[in-house]
Amino acid sequence: MSCTTILAGRKATNDGSTLIARTDDGSFDVKKLVVVPPKKQPRVYHSVIAHAEIPLPDDPMPYTACPNVVPGEGLWAATGINAANVGMTATETITSNPRVLAADPLVRYRKAEKRGGKDTPGGIGEEDIVVLVLPYIHTAREGVLRLASLLEQYGTYESNGIAFNDENEVWWLETIGGHHWIARRVPDEVCVINPNQFGMDSFDLDDAFGAQEAHLCSADLREFIADNHLDLNRGSFDPRSVFGSRTDMDHIYNTPRAWFMGRYLAPQSFRWDGPDADFTPESDHIPWAVIPDRKVTVEDFQYLLGAHYQGTPYDPYINRDTGMRGMYRSIGINRTGVTSICQIRPDAPDCAKGLEWVCFGSTTFSAFLPVYPNVPELPAYLSKVGAEPSTENFYWSSRLIGALADPHFSACAQLIDRYRSAVAVRGRELVIECDRALREAGDPGRMREANDKLCAMAREETDAALGKILLEASRQMKNGYNRADN
């Protein structure tokens, strides 16, 4: 599944929060946001794609998830925050190369060749990972270690990157072939930009095989690299050159997104445009992590996750034909199911440190709504979503807004900006109000009340925006004709 991930350490953000965010770019998957209580968490997990059976611990915590609404290829829980205020997003589909995949093949489900024979289960993948890990971890580092043990035991059928965050740390894990893995603690002062490629471009193997302060990996990774002649480096160890890809498709589909995000986050630290640019949209060496020129906010993440190369010749919505319009894959695309920003806030009351910003549909047109995850259940506007379109929920209303506004971008752009801004401002006001009440009264029930208010506000703003955009799209219909009657 193609997605875009952005991460930020606590010293890179304006309020000391850690942030992990990802667009879940499926195939117009119908999504909802729910709380999974312990009684609903399975004790034996059955994967649909891999046909694997995995026993689970008996002590799950409540957690949020964004599962698929339409039955098919499993849950695809996507992202969430658990009761210990640990966030997780899984997964960013990444690239690899034939040398790695031949040395440690992906673990794919295979049907029995003969009648009466046994099928061979596959490994774990994006369908499964959140459900298998998030309910059982109390820190971001624990998330890495639990997932790593599952990868080593069951393997995986795809190449993926997974992010975890808690109040203090952000960790990023990337799979290597079927059973190997590598993980790094994101430095506190940086933002990570990771668009569908193997991302890490530096790694301290000595730390990984020593103190393990900020680097973890498979126990046999050094032997795996040496035995299979994988190291392409001249000098310091660059995992991206060893385990990743460098293809023409990357230059159209992946690297331009990293270029746009880096260009936005660090415009003064590097040259991103012109003949003397340090990096172009097709550069293979765009940094995985950058120190932003100023501290970043949730709104910066929202802007980037909905980006379409605005301000460049590559913008698909630009009015003039530049010869380069739409030539690169945008970050905000039509088929996104859900996007979330998991924010863990150090200065919030303990029960409310986690805040999940959720956006449905194309991020170019949709609004991000903050939600308190540590509650018994979420309002129907987020959690009661059906397979058929309806303005009774946030998911389908967001999809409708995007589909109506896209063909008439110039006419609707200002309406979209006003809508997104209104939800952001009013959403923050309600969060400030709830946080203040929690500090004064300490009643966790306030979070449930706040979620009700947040969803009521989102519905009011979304319905109003939908009406205005529908009117504008109706005016732009090609069968319009005006005649002055006497």
pLDDT tens, position by position, 46-71 = 999 999 999 999 999 999 999 999 98
Is residue 26 over pLDDT 80?
A: yes
Question: Is residue 337, in this structure, part of any structural domain at all?
Answer: yes
Q: Are residues 388 and 273 in the same domain?
A: no
pLDDT at 321 (0 to 100)? 86
375 within domain boundaries: no
The closest alpha carbon to 453, from 477, 437, 476, 475, belongs to 437
Verify that 161 and 279 share a domain, yes or no. yes
Of 423, 414, 301, 305, the C-alpha closest to 361 is 305
- Higher pLDDT among residues 484 and 253, named by residue: 253
Q: 90, 169, 140: which is closest to 338 by C-alpha? A: 90
Confidence of residue 122 (pLDDT cuts 50, 70, 90): very high
**Residue 412: domain span:** 384-478
**CA distance to 96, 250, 260, 273, per residue, from 246 (Å):** 9, 7, 18, 22
Catalytic center residues: 3
Least confident span in 28-32, 248-252, 320-324: 320-324
My answer on whether 158 and 292 are in the same domain is yes
| 373 within a domain of the structure (yes/no) | no
The answer to whether residue 485 sits within a structural domain is no
Residue 378 located in a structural domain = no
Ramachandran angles phi, psi of 133, nearest 5°: -120, -50
Instruction: Let me know: does 200 contact 183? Beta carbons within 8 Å.
Output: no
Instruction: Report, as an integer, the average pLDDT of 344-353.
Output: 97
414 three-class SS = helix
Q: Is the pLDDT of residue 366 over 60?
A: yes
pLDDT at 388 over 80: yes
Is residue 486 over pLDDT 70? Answer: no
Residue 168 · residue 10 · CB < 8 Å? yes
pLDDT of 71 reads: 84
Same domain? For 278 and 341 the reply is yes
Q: Is 70 exceeded by the pLDDT of residue 1?
A: no
- Catalogue the E-assigned strands of 26-149: 34-36, 44-46, 53-55, 63-65, 79-81, 87-93
Tell me the CATH number at 239: 3.60.60.10
404, 354: one domain:
no
Within a 10 A sphere around the Cβ of 271, how many other Cβ atoms? 14
Q: What is the average pLDDT across 267-274? A: 97
Q: Is residue 424 part of a domain?
A: yes
Q: Are residues 352 and 401 in the same domain?
A: no
Shared domain check, 418 and 341: no
Please write the tens of the pLDDT for every residue from 396-419.
999 999 999 999 999 999 999 999
pLDDT band of 333, cuts 50, 70, 90: very high
Question: Sign of the CA dihedral 173, 138, 300, 65?
Answer: positive
The answer to whether residue 486 sits within a structural domain is no
Cα distance between residue 365 and residue 416, in whole Å: 6
Contacts of 324 (CB under 8 A, 6+ apart): 313, 314
Residue with tokens 């990096």: 279
- Same-domain status, 222 and 306: yes
Say if residues 84 and 354 touch (Cβ distance below 8 Å): no
Distance CA 349, CA 80 (A): 19
> Is the domain of 348 the same as that of 427?
no
What's the mean per-residue pLDDT of the chain? 97
Q: In this structure, which amino acid lies at residue 249?
A: M
* Residues 190, 338 within the same domain: yes
Secondary structure class of 91 (helix, strand, coil): strand
pLDDT value of residue 320: 87
Domain end, chosen from 364, 396, 420, is at 364
Whether 376 maps to a domain, the answer reads no
- pLDDT given for residue 16 in this prediction: 98
pLDDT at 115: 87
Q: Say if residue 337's pLDDT is above 80.
A: yes
| Residue 217 φ/ψ, nearest 5 degrees | -165, 175
* Tens digits of residue pLDDT in 430-445: 999 999 999 998 899 9
Total domains present in the chain: 2
- pLDDT score for 196: 96
Q: In the prediction, which pLDDT does 369 show?
A: 98
Instruction: Report yes or no on whether pTM surpasses 0.85.
Output: yes
pLDDT digits over 130-162, tens only?
999 999 999 999 999 999 999 999 999 999 999
Residues 394 and 259 in one domain: no
Phi, psi of 457 (to 5 degrees): -65, -45
Q: Are β-strands 354-360 and 338-344 bridged in parallel, bridged antiparallel, or unpaired?
A: antiparallel
74 and 156, same domain (yes or no): yes
User: DSSP letter string over 116-140?
Assistant: TPPPB---B-TTTHHHHHGGG-SSH
